[in-house]
Homo-oligomer: A and B are copies of this chain.
Amino acid sequence: MLPDQLLLRIPGPSPIPPSVQRAMSQPMIGHRGAETTALLQRIKPKLKPVFGTEQDVLLVTGSGTAGLEAAVANTSKPGDEVLVVVVGAFGDRFVKIAQAYQLQVHRLEVTWGEAANPEDISEYLKEYPEISSVFVTYCETSTGVLNPIKEIADAVHDVSEALVIVDGVSCVAGVETEFDEWGIDILVTGTQKAFMLPGGMFFAVVSERAWRVIEANPQPRFYLDLTKYRDGLEKDSTPFTPALSILFGLEQVLTLLEEEGLKQVYARHRLMRDMTRAAFRALDIPLLVEDAYASPTVTAIKPSDFDAELLRKQVKQDFNLAFAGGQQHMKGEIFRIGHMGYCSPADVLQVIGAVEIGLVKIGKQISLGAGTAAAQQIYLEQGVK
């Protein structure tokens, strides 16, 4: 195995582009000085299209989970009824946070590997009209399901005044996101997935409707009080010390996204998803998620006749190629391939070529190259602009 080569194909953190790595190694500047003001002024307008919003995108030092907590703490108080749509491990995370805040949590459980059904949500809200917020995951990292956020937001707004609060951690910047148009109220995402940065900050967007709820909410909070970040950003500042290196890198990420073009970025992610899925189909290895809800950023594979963990170990040993295993009850049942951010169709071909070797090595009968050929065929059909 080649020392110093790690093929990081887990669903986050994802690899960091060299130019972003270089940008992050800029010398420190004062976070209350003119340089940081100028940096934030440059970043602010470029972040908006990634979220599909005219709102400022708030920049908070903390992980994605801090972002989920901020969404809960800013909008709810003990006793509030909320609905959490749980399609996997990260829906579960929302539940735990809501419980910690002593909310009255309704849990709408969806079988892992399936997407949330908007109609089920509106039916639920009709039955429990006191529900004030609906929490839903955009891409469920644990299964590779992409929930239909636009349809879910429509379904909520049709029957209720509840806020639509979305965890976009493992997909925003890799899939189309239209915060304003879809009627999302709060959207939170982290830096370490399709944003091609290390973990360390989260982004949040808040609708005008949600700001009114937040401002009226008596729930005590300080560091995660989103109004502080909104007011800071209006003056091109942050209320507390920002993770400056990540902001340096973020500026370069936004340049890369602009250079490639967001539409093309999203098309590339769909292409990588389709190549990956076609390959496993050709190898006769089951996918966890059906086509309609498969995320462009992560694919879960559910082998029927070999040990997922054995394959993970094999490709790690041979190629230092890292996949993720399953979480919770899916542990050992599935493995997950990240294809987001700094990942190309050529990288997908590499992954598949290595997987085929791994499969043979763990004793599965396959036709070598068959998965590769299927992925190549998809590439040729969809092309790259």
Q: Which residues of A contact B (CB under 8 A)?
A: 1-5, 7, 17-20, 25, 256, 259-260, 268, 318-319, 321, 342-347, 349-350, 352-354, 356-357, 360-361, 367-377, 379-380, 384
Contacts and interface: CB of A to CB of B under 8 A. Distances in A.
Nearest to A315: B346
Contacts of A347: 350
Main DSSP-derived SS at the A contact region = helix
A365 to B, nearest CB: 13
Number of copies: 2
Contacts of A368: 372-373, 376-377
Nearest to A318: B384
29 contacts: A1-B260, A2-B260, A2-B342, A3-B259, A3-B260, A4-B17, A4-B256, A5-B344, A5-B346, A7-B346, A25-B25, A318-B345, A319-B344, A321-B346, A346-B354, A349-B353, A350-B353, A352-B353, A353-B353, A353-B372, A357-B376, A361-B380, A367-B373, A368-B377, A369-B369, A369-B372, A369-B374, A369-B376, A370-B373
Contacts of A372: 353, 356, 368-369, 372-373
B342 A349 contact: no
Contacts of A370: 369, 373
A349 B2 CA distance: 14
Contact of A350 (B259, B346, B369, B376): B346
Contacts of A342: 2, 4-5
A25 B360 CA distance: 41
Contacts of A319: 344-346
A80 to B, nearest CB: 44
Nearest to A347: B350
A353 B346 contact: yes
Nearest to A345: B319
Given A376-B356, A377-B368, A380-B361, A344 B2 contact: yes
Given A2-B268, A256-B3, A342-B5, A380 B353 contact: no
